[in-house]
Chain A
Amino acid sequence: MLHYPYIPNSNEAVRKEMLDFIGAKSVEEIYSFIPDEVRMKKPLNLPEAFTSEVTLKRHVDGILNQDSTCDENISFLGAGCYNHYVPAICDEINGRSEFLTAYSGDTYADHGKLQAFFEFTSMMGELLNMDVVSFPTYDGGQAASTAIMMSHRINKCTTALVPETMNPNLRSQLDCYCGGMKLVSIKSRKDGQLDLSDLKNKLSGDVACVFIQNPAFLGFFEEQCEEIGKLAHSVGAEYIVYADPSSLGVAAAPADYGADIACGDIQPLGIHMSYGGGLGGYLATRQEEQYVMNYPHHLYSIFENSKGQFGYARALPERTSYYVREKAVEYLGTCVGLWAVTAAVYLALMGPDGMKELGENILYKSNYAQKKLSGIKTITFPHKNSHSFMEFVVNFDGLGKTVAEINKELLKHHIFGGYDLSRQMPSMGQSMLVCVTEKTELSEIDAFVEALKKIL
């Protein structure tokens, strides 16, 4: 056998010593009880291995170096994954071996991990103005799915009202997950705001929840959010708000305008985009039995021992599928614990003033970008009468070029244009969803405008 660096007992002398102890001539003799009918008949046909680290690194770098990143270009892509700045300390902490390679150890051996989890939920609780925040789940879509199913379990109703202009990928995830629920779309007004008369028409005694995104998927703030909540409550429905945490330094917490359940994605909180892999979902509610007992997630509660030390343990664990299997409200598995640690570090670094400055920086830039782009007479802003946060829609209808063609030409200027909405939302025509963040320079916005002028 070759020496494999990751397999210390590939050492032949050691193997012989161990086999002698066991009393077997070979490992094959140990597993001789595996029936022939389930054994492979020939060896795996895999590519030749790069057994030394130096050649392995050259190989994998060679693949990844073919890519051209948002750091190497000017990116205006968002639509569910955001190019925020990641503070160095976030990477420093989540790269620590202790956190990176820990798993499900608990109260004692992983006390520090549990304290970091508790601080994550605690800081999210302050941002959201809610007392219960879950251990994070796979992504915002999973959190939204559970929020909707939670509302169904609370009031037994089976209709969920969702905006027709919500994130189509999120909608696809809800369609897959929310079995037995009828998802009904609420129309939007021309300025993007939810059409309250359509909402009123669709309210009934069977509405489990009214779900909105705020800021909306198309970038603007849903300004009637308080009224929407009152309408939901008028029929006994739960009011669910999917909120971007990076907006909450300047925007009101969903609970402050009546939300019963808040959910969303924590990727903006110090986690790299990683081609969409850096997502994580949060879910938060008031501390009431009807909500708490409907969380499928771990809930780490704080306790104090007789020495005055704080410690943490999974609370009410018999809710979860680990304990009661199919009788649990939903399944629960390995999700994104490392992102809880990372988001905790992020929020601790930002503090209240950092979150406010972040929101203000983004507000300035998205509005700056729209003002500058509005100098191009031929393009339009369908939602210009609404207030945008980080993203906004630009429409190119009637210009003889598709967004796909425009984005191809922008690429020649090393610019990643906004997300092409025409694929998933054809009713929007040739529109792109432009995203700016605190990483976007005003000069980069100017360069975008100039490039578009040339292209159009």
Chain B
Amino acid sequence: MSDPKLRNFHEAQWDEPIIFEQSVPGSRSMLIPDVSKEAAPVTGEVSGLMPESLKRSKKPALPELGQPQVLRHYLRLSQETIGQDINIDIGLGTCTMKYSPKINEQFVRSPKFAEMHPYQDDDTAQGILKLIYDFEQIMKEISGLDAVSFQAGGGGQGIYANAAVLKKYFEDRGEADKRTQIITTILSHPLNSAAPATKGFEVISLYPDENGYPSLENLKAVVSEKTAGIFITNPEDTGVFNPIIRQFVDVVHEAGGLCVCDMADYNGLFGLVRAKELGADMCHFNLHKAFASPHACMGPGCAAQCVSAELEKYLPRPRVRFDGTRYYTDYEDRDSVGKIRQFHGALSAVIRAYSWVMSLGTEGLKAVGETAILNNNYMMKRVLNEVRGITMSWAEEAPNRLEQVRYSFETMLKETGVSAEHVNRHMLDFGFQRFFPSHHPLIVPEPYTPEPTESYSKADIDEYIAALKKISEEAYSTPEVVLTAPHNGPISVLENDHIETVDQLAVTWRSYKKQHGKA
């Protein structure tokens, strides 16, 4: 098959100064009404309205610009950013970069949602309450579990919320002191370790065997009366599906622990596998991933936390209820873990996810899952056959993949000196966002984890593969081209991009200026 022509791409390079460097003292871009004429006769002068001890003595040294200059500055910065909308974002695997329908932006940007206060009388909020309630019913069906909360503001917070429910469950049973251990797999997202640890659990990580997933024997060796639960992703970030997941769950259940599924890698399973059939007691879905809410520069996102009937009472408050005629907010929190996030959570993601599901329905969701699998398997066969220097982890023992694959550039590195990171930087020169290598630790050397979701056409995938092939050819013929990339990005290579000590840190302009004698 002939490859499509690659683009002669160059990302915008505005050489845009830091906004402080553009400040012209006295410039204004936002005026606030002066009400002193009407208010002061009633209140007295503003100087008398603040306690002396708290008055700000010096104005904050914020930049001062005109409105067109502020707009232009941030538009330029936007052009130096590559969103999913403007690139074939296959590279960022485990992130499920899919199309976020524009119609959904109209809903969340409408004043009918944006100008709602969370403490409004429920009678004035029947629409949003209905939408929350209805989407909870949908997520119950999609998970197969019995109750849902949307309070968690991202995948990590979703795992944390499940760890909080788990803790509360064992506290209620008087077993919290005994059930102190969580089991997870080293190839699950790191937050399956970190979030339960933040909740005070001890974490045991299982390593994969020659099949790409942990053996049942290894699991049995660590399960005990101390086991509170297992936090597991299936398929894991490598794309390998654990076919004996039910036996895993049974082993943990028999020991008195619960099973918590991280559905972060769910996109291929729509209409095929649910948390219920996996045997899970709890799970979470990232609405900003599989459910098409945009990733938004890393949030706001939302985790739909789904639990079994036995665990429902522990969910964060408030919940939304329906009495047959009216939707209402239920703040009663006697058994609840309390609050994970303020109010109802980041509902913009809930509205978008609801709209996305309602546009697809049962058949459409099945088409999402099947197309994600089709796209990935098409790409996998082409990459492994046509791109020199790439291999797949556990290729012989576990050759099947669903929606994503963890590849390795180890062969290319050995044969050419070009690493996965070098390839990654060079992808930009053809108009592609950076790819996701792997979570830590790097079990697969020189990792690369793309995920061609259902949003990409065959032509998109072909173009992406053409770039991979081109870079591979360069690695073997003119490696210096790859080693010095990116060539067409907003900045050239940052030769030194790490620090050793805290005093070298500069996360604010004032800190940078102090270190460089400019303060």
Q: Are B11 and A125 in contact (CB-based, < 8 A)?
A: no
Contact A169:B339 (CB < 8 A) given known A180-B200, A336-B153: yes
Q: Are B498 and A21 in contact (CB-based, < 8 A)?
A: no
Which of B55, B75, B82, B103 interacts with A56 by CB under 8 Å? B103
Complexed CA–CA distance, A105 and B359 (Å): 29
Could you list some 28 contacts between A and B, CB below 8 A?
Answer: A7-B367, A9-B456, A9-B457, A27-B373, A67-B112, A67-B116, A69-B116, A75-B117, A89-B74, A101-B100, A101-B295, A105-B434, A112-B76, A113-B77, A126-B61, A253-B56, A325-B190, A325-B205, A327-B197, A336-B298, A337-B296, A339-B300, A349-B29, A351-B65, A363-B50, A367-B44, A387-B54, A416-B124
A98: B residues at CB distance < 8 A: 78-79, 81-83, 85-86
Convert A250-274 into 0s and 1s, putting 1 for each residue whose CB lies closer than 8 angstroms to a CB of B. Answer: 1111001100000000000000111
Which of A39, A91, A116, A349 has most B Cβ within 10 Å?
A349
A130: B residues at CB distance < 8 A: 508
Q: Are A83 and B117 in contact (CB-based, < 8 A)?
A: yes
Which of A46, A141, A287 interacts with B141 by CB under 8 Å? A46
B217 close to chain A: CB less than 8 A: no
Please choose the segment from A153-161, A231-239, A311-319 that sits at the chain B interface, where 4 or more of its residues have CB less than 8 A away: A311-319
B443 close to chain A: CB less than 8 A: no
Q: Are B35 and A316 in contact (CB-based, < 8 A)?
A: no
Q: Are A112 and B490 in contact (CB-based, < 8 A)?
A: yes
Name the distance in Å between B78's Cβ and chain A's nearest Cβ. Answer: 4
A19 close to chain B: CB less than 8 A: yes
A179 close to chain B: CB less than 8 A: yes
Q: Are A48 and B361 in contact (CB-based, < 8 A)?
A: yes
Q: Are A311 and B497 in contact (CB-based, < 8 A)?
A: yes
Complexed CA–CA distance, A351 and B138 (Å): 45
A4: B residues at CB distance < 8 A: 360, 364, 367
Complexed CA–CA distance, A257 and B56 (Å): 11
B341: A residues at CB distance < 8 A: 138-139, 141-142, 173, 279
Convert A116-147 into 0s and 1s, putting 1 for each residue whose CB lies closer than 8 angstroms to a CB of B. Answer: 11110111111101111101001111100000
The 5 closest A-B pairs by CB, nearest first: A333-B156, A276-B343, A49-B361, A112-B80, A276-B118
Q: Are A331 and B195 in contact (CB-based, < 8 A)?
A: yes
Which of B57, B62, B85, B112 interacts with A348 by CB under 8 Å? B62
Q: Are B54 and A367 in contact (CB-based, < 8 A)?
A: no
Contact A102:B297 (CB < 8 A) given known A113-B77, A172-B338: yes
Q: Which residue of B lies closest to A6 (CB)?
A: B99
Q: Are B359 and A109 in contact (CB-based, < 8 A)?
A: no
Which of A122, A272, A325 interacts with B114 by CB under 8 Å? A272
Question: Given A2-B364, A67-B112, A334-B156, list of 14 further CB < 8 A pairs?
Answer: A17-B458, A63-B128, A63-B130, A111-B81, A141-B342, A250-B50, A279-B341, A301-B505, A321-B156, A328-B197, A348-B74, A363-B49, A364-B39, A416-B117
Contact-residue bracket for chain B: 35 or more
B32: A residues at CB distance < 8 A: 354, 357-358, 360-361, 438
Q: Are A103 and B92 in contact (CB-based, < 8 A)?
A: yes
Which of A68, A139, A330, A333 has most B Cβ within 10 Å?
A333
Q: Are B273 and A97 in contact (CB-based, < 8 A)?
A: no
Complexed CA–CA distance, A358 and B56 (Å): 14
Q: Are A348 and B65 in contact (CB-based, < 8 A)?
A: yes
B126: A residues at CB distance < 8 A: 66-67
Contact A287:B343 (CB < 8 A) given known A51-B359, A357-B34: no
Contact A309:B120 (CB < 8 A) given known A276-B342, A352-B61: no
A379 close to chain B: CB less than 8 A: no
Interface residues of B in 201-257 (CB under 8 A from A): 203, 205, 241, 243, 245-246
Q: Are A6 and B454 in contact (CB-based, < 8 A)?
A: yes
Convert B288-308 into 0s and 1s, putting 1 for each residue whose CB lies closer than 8 angstroms to a CB of A. Answer: 100010111111110000000
Which of A77, A119, A251, A335 interacts with B299 by CB under 8 Å? A335
Complexed CA–CA distance, A75 and B119 (Å): 10
B484 close to chain A: CB less than 8 A: no
Convert A57-79 into 0s and 1s, putting 1 for each residue whose CB lies closer than 8 angstroms to a CB of B. Answer: 10111011111111111010101
Q: Are B121 and A305 in contact (CB-based, < 8 A)?
A: no
Please choose the segment from A28-36, A194-202, A203-211, A393-401 that sits at the chain B interface, where 4 or more of its residues have CB less than 8 A away: A28-36
B457: A residues at CB distance < 8 A: 8-9, 14
Q: Are B42 and A64 in contact (CB-based, < 8 A)?
A: no
Complexed CA–CA distance, A1 and B365 (Å): 12
A185: B residues at CB distance < 8 A: none
B340: A residues at CB distance < 8 A: 173, 176
Please choose the segment from B13-21, B411-419, B466-474 that sits at the chain A interface, where 4 or more of its residues have CB less than 8 A away: B13-21
A333: B residues at CB distance < 8 A: 154-157, 159, 191, 195
Contact A18:B458 (CB < 8 A) given known A35-B243, A277-B343, A331-B197: yes
B331 close to chain A: CB less than 8 A: yes
Which of B71, B128, B198, B347 has most A Cβ within 10 Å?
B198
Complexed CA–CA distance, A354 and B63 (Å): 11
Complexed CA–CA distance, A18 and B377 (Å): 9
Q: Which residue of A lies closest to B52 (CB)?
A: A223
A249: B residues at CB distance < 8 A: 56, 59-60
Which of A7, A46, A252 interacts with B56 by CB under 8 Å? A252
B321 close to chain A: CB less than 8 A: no
Q: Are A313 and B95 in contact (CB-based, < 8 A)?
A: no
B381: A residues at CB distance < 8 A: 21-22
Convert B441-485 into 0s and 1s, putting 1 for each residue whose CB lies closer than 8 angstroms to a CB of A. Answer: 000000000000011111010000000000000000000000000
Contact-residue bracket for chain A: 35 or more
A434 close to chain B: CB less than 8 A: no
Name the distance in Å between B351's Cβ and chain A's nearest Cβ. Answer: 7
Which of B63, B108, B116 has most A Cβ within 10 Å?
B116
Name the distance in Å between B284's Cβ and chain A's nearest Cβ. Answer: 11
A45 close to chain B: CB less than 8 A: yes
Name the distance in Å between B224's Cβ and chain A's nearest Cβ. Answer: 18
B309 close to chain A: CB less than 8 A: no
Convert A72-101 into 0s and 1s, putting 1 for each residue whose CB lies closer than 8 angstroms to a CB of B. Answer: 110101011101001101011101111111
Q: Are A276 and B54 in contact (CB-based, < 8 A)?
A: no
Complexed CA–CA distance, A203 and B32 (Å): 43
A115 close to chain B: CB less than 8 A: yes
Q: Are B82 and A110 in contact (CB-based, < 8 A)?
A: yes
Name the distance in Å between A163's Cβ and chain B's nearest Cβ. Answer: 16
B322: A residues at CB distance < 8 A: none
Convert A414-432 into 0s and 1s, putting 1 for each residue whose CB lies closer than 8 angstroms to a CB of B. Answer: 0010011001000000000
Complexed CA–CA distance, A358 and B498 (Å): 39
Complexed CA–CA distance, A99 and B357 (Å): 24
Contact A115:B18 (CB < 8 A) given known A276-B342, A293-B502, A357-B32: yes
Complexed CA–CA distance, A351 and B98 (Å): 37
Which of B44, B49, B77 has most A Cβ within 10 Å?
B77
Q: Are B194 and A328 in contact (CB-based, < 8 A)?
A: yes
B121: A residues at CB distance < 8 A: 407-408, 411, 416
Name the distance in Å between B196's Cβ and chain A's nearest Cβ. Answer: 8
B6 close to chain A: CB less than 8 A: no
Which of A83, A126, A288, A348 has most B Cβ within 10 Å?
A348
B286: A residues at CB distance < 8 A: 334
Q: Are B495 and A225 in contact (CB-based, < 8 A)?
A: no
A452 close to chain B: CB less than 8 A: no
Name the distance in Å between A153's Cβ and chain B's nearest Cβ. Answer: 12
Which of B63, B361, B367, B400 interacts with A47 by CB under 8 Å? B361
Convert B362-374 into 0s and 1s, putting 1 for each residue whose CB lies closer than 8 angstroms to a CB of A. Answer: 1111111011011
